[in-house]
A and B are shown apart, each in its own frame.
Chain A
Amino acid sequence: MTRLVEVPSQLDDRSFETFTSSFAAAAQNGERLLFDAHAAEWASPYGLVGLLVAGQAARQRSGRSEPPLLTAPTHAEVSSYWARAGFFREAADLFEIHGRVPKAKPAEESDVLLAVTPVRAAEDVHEVVSRIQQRASAILASELQLDPKATMGFAMALSEACQNIVEHAGVGGWVAVQSYHWRRTLARRVVVIAVGDAGIGFRQSLEATQARRFGERWSDAAALEAALIQGVSRFRDPGRGQGLAGIRRYLARWDGKIAIRSGTARIAIVPSWDDDVPLREGLPNFPGAQVLIIIPEQGSAKR
């Protein structure tokens, strides 16, 4: 029997829990999954990476014989964007795709600063950093009015976010970067980094070194808090834990936002322009970790 996973028509960080809820319910019996995205109208980089993560988890479970199914968006414009964003290139290895999949065109003239790109090893992080510097620096400076210093920090933040996959996930993941107009709460352009994997997640990664310290309070939320707020790492080396701390400093300086979802919890450092919740627990279980970083267009705000 095949179980249906509904893909919200607007797949982004806000609707993501609708998606995870559908995924968690459908995945519990170990049956083949059908991800139904035919009615999709829009997907953020976070949504596209999240969909790949779900596909990766379903694929890991089912093996190669019965890959999960995916119905592609029927709107030509939408599927064209998904192709341009590099989604279908990666999805082809995970899903049996049904529906029309357009050929991907180069994303050079678009707001896709980095198409969905696999991250499996340190070499991939080098590649991502190199590409983003070539492609994004001018756009970040001209469109978002980011100071050149901010564009340097942007590559650093991107590198550290990707390294979380290489160092902690235990499996490969994906990164995507895009700029777009953030109408929801800001009415300004933003640049968004989305990173996700279907790996072991923060809780399992930190369990050996942190669980005893937290005792009965040990949970996905406690693990996220330890990593993002307290800067702890699973490595005992005192130099570890620099990555997320560095990202936080960078975002504090440029009024940016970070949200990390892992397992059944989600933590966010919420800037004044956003209305997100700092910590959510008891969410539907979703594999691995998903990181969302948003840097807004710089106005006249002092820093």
Chain B
Amino acid sequence: MIHNIDLQTVMQESASPVYMDLVTRPTGRVVRERIERAFDATGGPTVARMDFRGVGCMDYSCADEIVARLLRERPAVLLLVGLTDGHREAIEPVLIGHRLAVLVVQVDGTLDGLGTPEVADELLEQLVTRGLADRLPGGMVALTAP
């Protein structure tokens, strides 16, 4: 089963309803702690889909708290949806700095690694092995689960 996280909702519930941007470390910490509680309530998902739609700017501090630190404290296969170039720019270096990776769900459902390439390859392999993703002709990997 894939656990769904709507970041915009989490942000508005945990920080402030008027915030559209994931900036500052305190904001990132509050959002991460809320996600961790949701993870813990389900017994700790091994695969989670994090939806970035509706999130404005994300800075490096928030990327570190919400993505990298979450992965360090609650290891999981993290699928990112609705990622903009700006989000990607904030997240990629912090993942590489910690030798971590996530998978980005493209519009056509295929998956793209973000972060440390070898770690991203391992994540793709995990999803295929567990039947949550298929290898397509041409080497791409796409989600099978909705």
| Chain A: minimal CB distance from B54 (Å) | 14
Question: How far does the alpha carbon of A149 sit from the alpha carbon of B24 in the complex, in Å?
Answer: 20
Question: How far does the alpha carbon of A167 sit from the alpha carbon of B60 in the complex, in Å?
Answer: 14
User: Does B24 contact A159, Cβ atoms closer than 8 Å?
Assistant: yes
From B21, B26, B57, B60, give the contact of A243 (CB < 8 A). Answer: B60
**Which of A36-44, A51-59, A107-115, A126-134 lies at the interface?**
A126-134
Number of residue pairs A-B, CB distance < 8 angstroms: 91
| Chain A: minimal CB distance from B25 (Å) | 7
Question: How far does the alpha carbon of A133 sit from the alpha carbon of B55 in the complex, in Å?
Answer: 13
Question: How far does the alpha carbon of A163 sit from the alpha carbon of B26 in the complex, in Å?
Answer: 10
User: Does A122 contact B90, Cβ atoms closer than 8 Å?
Assistant: no
| Chain A: minimal CB distance from B65 (Å) | 7
In the bound complex, residues from chain B placing their C-beta under 8 Å from that of A246 are 59-60, 90, 93
User: Does A149 contact B89, Cβ atoms closer than 8 Å?
Assistant: yes
Task: Count B interface residues, CB 8 Å.
Answer: 30
From A129, A148, A163, A249, give the contact of B25 (CB < 8 A). Answer: A163
In the bound complex, residues from chain B placing their C-beta under 8 Å from that of A123 are 16
In the bound complex, residues from chain A placing their C-beta under 8 Å from that of B19 are 126
User: Does B89 contact A152, Cβ atoms closer than 8 Å?
Assistant: yes
Q: How large is the interface on A (under 10, 10 to 19, 20 to 34, 35 or more residues)?
A: 20 to 34
In A147-184, which residues have CB < 8 Å from any B CB? Answer: 148-149, 152-153, 155-156, 159-160, 163, 166-167
Question: How far does the alpha carbon of A167 sit from the alpha carbon of B20 in the complex, in Å?
Answer: 21
User: Does B59 contact A239, Cβ atoms closer than 8 Å?
Assistant: no
User: Does A249 contact B57, Cβ atoms closer than 8 Å?
Assistant: no
User: Does A163 contact B57, Cβ atoms closer than 8 Å?
Assistant: no
From A153, A240, A242, give the contact of B89 (CB < 8 A). Answer: A153
Question: How far does the alpha carbon of A243 sit from the alpha carbon of B62 in the complex, in Å?
Answer: 10
User: Does A242 contact B94, Cβ atoms closer than 8 Å?
Assistant: yes
Whether B144 sits at the interface, judged by CB under 8 Å, is no
Whether B68 sits at the interface, judged by CB under 8 Å, is yes
User: Does A156 contact B89, Cβ atoms closer than 8 Å?
Assistant: yes
Whether A200 sits at the interface, judged by CB under 8 Å, is no
User: Does B59 contact A152, Cβ atoms closer than 8 Å?
Assistant: no
User: Does A239 contact B89, Cβ atoms closer than 8 Å?
Assistant: no
Question: How far does the alpha carbon of A170 sit from the alpha carbon of B60 in the complex, in Å?
Answer: 21
From B16, B57, B64, B69, give the contact of A156 (CB < 8 A). Answer: B57
| 7 residue pairs bridging A and B, Cβ less than 8 Å apart | A125-B23, A126-B16, A133-B56, A152-B89, A155-B23, A242-B61, A243-B59
Question: 14 other contacts beyond A129-B59, A160-B61, with CB at 8 A cut-off?
Answer: A125-B23, A129-B21, A133-B56, A149-B86, A155-B21, A155-B57, A156-B59, A159-B57, A167-B25, A239-B65, A239-B72, A242-B61, A242-B97, A245-B93
